[in-house]
Each structure stands twice: as structure tokens, then as C-alpha cells.
Amino acid sequence: MAASSVAPTPLLTDELDIVIPTIRNLDFLEMWRPFFQHYHLIIVQDGDPTKKINVPEGFDYELYNRDDINRILGPKASCISFKDSACRCFGYMVSKKKYIFTIDDDCFVAKDPSGKDINALEQHIKNLLCPATPFFFNTLYDPYREGADFVRGYPFSLREGAPTAVSHGLWLNIPDYDAPTQLVKPRERNTRYVDAVLTIPKGTLFPMCGMNLAFDRDLIGPAMYFGLMGDGQPIGRYDDMWAGWCTKVICDHLGLGIKTGLPYIWHSKASNPFVNLKKEYKGIYWQEELIPFFQSAILPKECTTVQACYKELAKQVNAKLSNVDPYFTKLADAMVTWIDAWDELNPPSKAGLANGSA
């Protein structure tokens, strides 16, 4: 195949923050150094704020522990989870950059089938910088990738695509299974490298995993609230799921796209399935009500900003889900608090310009 002159992917070092929640240490960053070195890190330290988190030398970072979160947000800090990686969304809020990449501290560099190290961040940037195609399915997946294109029958009027708001990466080795599946298949490893990026069609929900995720903060940031999880909450391990369902409904409403597929990272640690089961238990039942809720959620035309959409969703959560469990009334309140906190830390004048319109 003829080598096409493909422009190198821009680094976006001044436009992207890497948000990492941690409770232990950040040794994993050593392996990522060649790819992360030039980026600013926002570390959200969960758990005991007196513990000192060791950041490897040479990284430019800001670190926030629980005391910082309380100080910065005051009473609004109640919307940020404690003792759960959901606290990472605080990092999204304080960032001043256009793009966010978030990764878990047990995720390492994976290799592609040729044995080459995968620069996950570069692939996420590629995904975010080129359009998504949510309105019609392209059977050759991402048509903007080199070596691919739109197939016969794809309407030309839809070939400009939609702005990409989210890039959802995947995981080799330990797959992101729920506790029951982990218990039944403790030895299953994901060894299948699927060389595709594709847009999740408009109107279709998906389970968004926060382990290897990037998004355009200007386009969708306020929707990336990871909910109330962990300490004092009846549920865990549904933070990213919740953010994903809200984000997808809002993206569909605003005409934005979400991609999934490449890049892969290597997920090294399987969390304890019994601990996971306790955390997820309620979620497994509640999910059966949540999915129809999100599938039928309609946002009014007047909601043209992410914040307006999100507050409207919060209203609907309160109206329709509180009979599932009082937790959802609390969550709806926290969703509003989150938006208020977001707007306080991010004055709306900039945000209003950048949001997609309905």
C-alpha cells in the first residue's frame, strides 16, 4: 500500500491534562514516562489526606487531597465521593485545559500485535481531533483513519461527521467485568486486539469505563460527574457507568459523538470480586430501572448547553428514580451541586462559546 503522508498527531501538551485518582502510589507512571512526560498531571488523592503520595521525578503536576477538595469547594465538596476513584471528577473540574485524559493507576502500556508499545494518549488525541459518525453506521468503522473510508451507500451529506466529545479506550489482560462474571470466569483474560475505532451510534447506550478515557472538556466536561460512590454510599463501581449514561444522552441531544475501541492499555490488577460484589450489588438491580430511564430520557430543545442538559437530567432523576431508592434523590441533588461547583470554578463565559448546540 502506498505510504500516505500523514501529518504527525499534535502533542497538545498545553491543551491536555492527565487526571489520575490514587490512594497508593504512582509508580505506574514510570512505564508511561515516554508518553506522559510532557503533560501536566492532576492527581486526586483519595483516602487519608495525611498520607504522602510519591510522584516520580520529572513530572509536572498538581495534587489535591480531601482537605484540598473541602477547602476549594466548601459545602459543595459533598458532591465529590470519598474512598472511591469517583473522586477523580474533581480533577476534571479544576482543570483549565481543553482535553482530559484519565487513567487508573493499575493500567500500563500495552503492546500492539507487532510488539510495539502503544501510545494510548496519542491515539486518544487522534480520536478526539477527528469527527465521529453517530448518525449512520460505517461498516468499515472509523472512516477517518488511514486506510479506511466511508463505504458505498454512506450519504455524502453525513460525511462531515459530528465533533467527537469522548474517546473510550479498552483493556488487554484483565477485562472490565462485573463481580458475578469475575467470579464465574476468574481466569479469563482479554487477548483479542481489535484494530478498530468506531462511533457509538446516536440513541444507543453503552457502559463507559473510566480506566482509559479521554474527553473534550469544553464540549462535554460538566456531564462527566462520577456520582456519589464509596464511603457512606450504598453503591460503588457505577461511577463511570453513571457518567457514561448521562454523557451519552447529552451528546445525542447536542449532536456530539462518542468513540470506542483503540487505544488499548494493559490492565494489570483484578480487584477482589467479593469486595466488588458488595459494592455493585445494588447497582445490578438498580441498573434494570436506570437503563429504561436513560433510554427514554428526552431533553427539551431549550437545553443548548451541557450544564442546562445536566440540570434537566437531574430533575428527571429526582422525579422518576427516587421511588427506586432515596439514594437517587441525594444523587440528583449532588448532580446540581456539581454543576454549580463547575460553573463557579469555570466561569460560564468561556464554556458557553465552546458547547455544541442542539
- Cell numbers of 287, please? 441498573
First to last CA, the chain: 41
Contact range with other proteins by CB under 8 A, out of 19-27, 189-197, 315-323, 333-341: 189-197
User: Taking the alpha carbons of 49, 51, 52, 56 in that order, is the dihedral positive or negative?
Assistant: negative
Tell me, what amino acid is at 140?
L
Are the CB atoms for 337 and 351 separated by under 8 Å?
no
User: Taking the alpha carbons of 300, 302, 304, 310 in that order, is the dihedral positive or negative?
Assistant: negative
Q: Taking CB under 8 A as the rule, does residue 266 contact other proteins?
A: no
Q: Taking CB under 8 A as the rule, does residue 129 contact other proteins?
A: no
Contact range with other proteins by CB under 8 A, out of 35-43, 82-90, 135-143, 225-233: 135-143
Q: Taking CB under 8 A as the rule, does residue 259 contact other proteins?
A: no
Contact range with other proteins by CB under 8 A, out of 26-34, 40-48, 201-209, 301-309: 201-209
Contact range with other proteins by CB under 8 A, out of 29-37, 55-63, 203-211, 214-222: 203-211
Q: Which is nearer to other proteins, 130 or 345 (CB)?
A: 130
CA atoms within 13 A on the CB side of 74: 6
A 10 A CB-CB count for 215 gives 27
Which of 202, 217, 253, 311 is the binder for other proteins (CB under 8 A)? Answer: 202
- Contact map string, positions 278 to 307, toward other proteins, x by CB under 8 A: --x---x--xx--x----------------
The DSSP line for 1-33 is -PPP-PPPPP--TTTEEEEEEESS--TTHHHHH
State the residues that interact with other proteins by CB under 8 A: 1-2, 113, 136-141, 147-158, 168, 170, 175-178, 181, 185, 188-196, 200-209, 237-238, 240-241, 244, 260, 280, 284, 287-288, 291
